[in-house]
Amino acid sequence: MTAPIKNSNPVVLDVALGARAYDIVIGRDVLGSLGERIKAMRPGARIAIVTDATVAMHWLEKAEAALKGAGIESSRIVVGEGESSKSYAVLEEVCEALIAAKIERNDLVIALGGGVIGDLAGFAAAIVRRGVDFVQVPTSLLAQVDSSVGGKTGINSPHGKNLVGAFHQPILVVADTSVLDTLSPRQFRAGYAEVAKYGLLGDEAFFTWLESNHAGVFSGSAAREHAIATSCRAKAAIVSRDERETGERALLNLGHTFGHALEAATGFSDRLFHGEGVSIGMVLAAEFSAHLNMIAPSDAERVKRHLASVGLPTRMQDIAGFRQEGLADADALMALMAQDKKVKRGRLTFILLEKIGKAVIANDVDAPRVRNFIAEKLSQQPGR
């Protein structure tokens, strides 16, 4: 598999959901087309842009200019950066600001930002006036390849991640790959974990391609847009078949049961970005699959080796201050996993691997066995 030659034409993918179908537009500098695209879809609509302070510094004026160039006036709602904004308090702030801006049911909300903003703004749009349409303009790699597509919106609860939310599909996703140039290396790496996930769960050839071409994804060559388009195409196909996660869509949670528990254990803070939690979670899922004799230990090691090669954390001990703060507790992590959205009647569900490129949904996983596995991993010495 090789990456296509980069050209000036954006890639347009369709999320086939019947009356709720929408396009994902991927390409460099496509943010400039935002106004004309919205004007064609929703002439005369009022627009409110929800973003965070950091994204606003880099991209808010460009987004506003694109809208103004198409004759569209907009208002702005700027919230704090980071996972802490996915809270009841900030949700209330955004909802009240949308109502104050007189955003009505035929108007639009634009989520300009990473996964936090997409989840927060999308959830606010889902509940204000019982539902306002919204557009995703993802500005992080993680949001471009994953959270902006599929209609999952929500906020966190003190009990766990994304436990309060709604399915609310966007009407358009505009993924401008040039905005990724302003990400920190750590933010980009965190997003890359979700790219690797698509290879692991359903496309071994793509994972193999990433092992050879990840440097190009990071440097911004044609490989970057190819990786983003491949990831979006994979997610769009799964969402089209299982919009509400009644079956196959759960595969997209590979690494997330472990990862979300680790995020909760670290207080949803910048100590562990979501993609970093997913990276550790995917390694744990692969190692647990090997523990259950579903895959060879060498396959689990291959997963760990690739994620480590791009600088992602692969062990719970890699989280800063994890052991020192008393968070390295198998029972505490089990309690957090018990709040996972995939739990059914108290029984754990994990996404595991039958091979690299084939994930499966494992229902009713034996909790004591998971607890002993976690305890074993926590007891390992550095370097193992």
Given the residues 64, 83, 194, 287, the one annotated as active site: 194
Q: ∠ at Cα 196 (121, 210), nearest 5°?
A: 130
Question: Of 72, 62, 52, 177, which is closest to residue 119 (Cα–Cα)?
Answer: 52
Question: Cα 130 to the chain's mean position, in Å?
Answer: 25
235 is catalytic: yes
Given the residues 161, 256, 302, 306, the one annotated as active site: 256
Given the residues 42, 46, 86, 152, the one annotated as active site: 152
Given the residues 46, 168, 235, 341, the one annotated as active site: 235
Question: Of 135, 145, 146, which is closest to residue 170 (Cα–Cα)?
Answer: 135
194 is catalytic: yes
64 is catalytic: no
How far, in Å, CA of 132 to CA of 92, rounded? 16
Given the residues 274, 304, 306, 342, the one annotated as active site: 274
How far, in Å, CA of 370 to CA of 86, rounded? 29
260 is catalytic: yes
How far is residue 270 from each of residues 44, 251, 254, 267, 356, measured CA to CA in Å? 40, 26, 22, 9, 30
245 is catalytic: yes
274 is catalytic: yes
130 is catalytic: yes
Long-range contacts formed by 324-333: CB under 8 A, 24+ apart: 327/265, 327/266, 328/378, 329/378, 330/371, 330/372, 330/374, 330/375, 330/378, 331/371, 332/265, 333/261, 333/262, 333/265, 333/374
Given the residues 28, 161, 249, 306, the one annotated as active site: 249
Given the residues 64, 245, 263, 287, the one annotated as active site: 245
Given the residues 46, 161, 197, 260, the one annotated as active site: 260
Given the residues 46, 81, 253, 342, the one annotated as active site: 253
How far, in Å, CA of 115 to CA of 256, rounded? 15
DSSP string, 268-306: TSTTS-HHHHHHHHHHHHHHHHHHTTSS-HHHHHHHHHH
Hey, is 355 helix, strand or coil? Answer: strand
Provide the annotated active-site residues: 130, 152, 194, 235, 245, 249, 253, 256, 260, 274
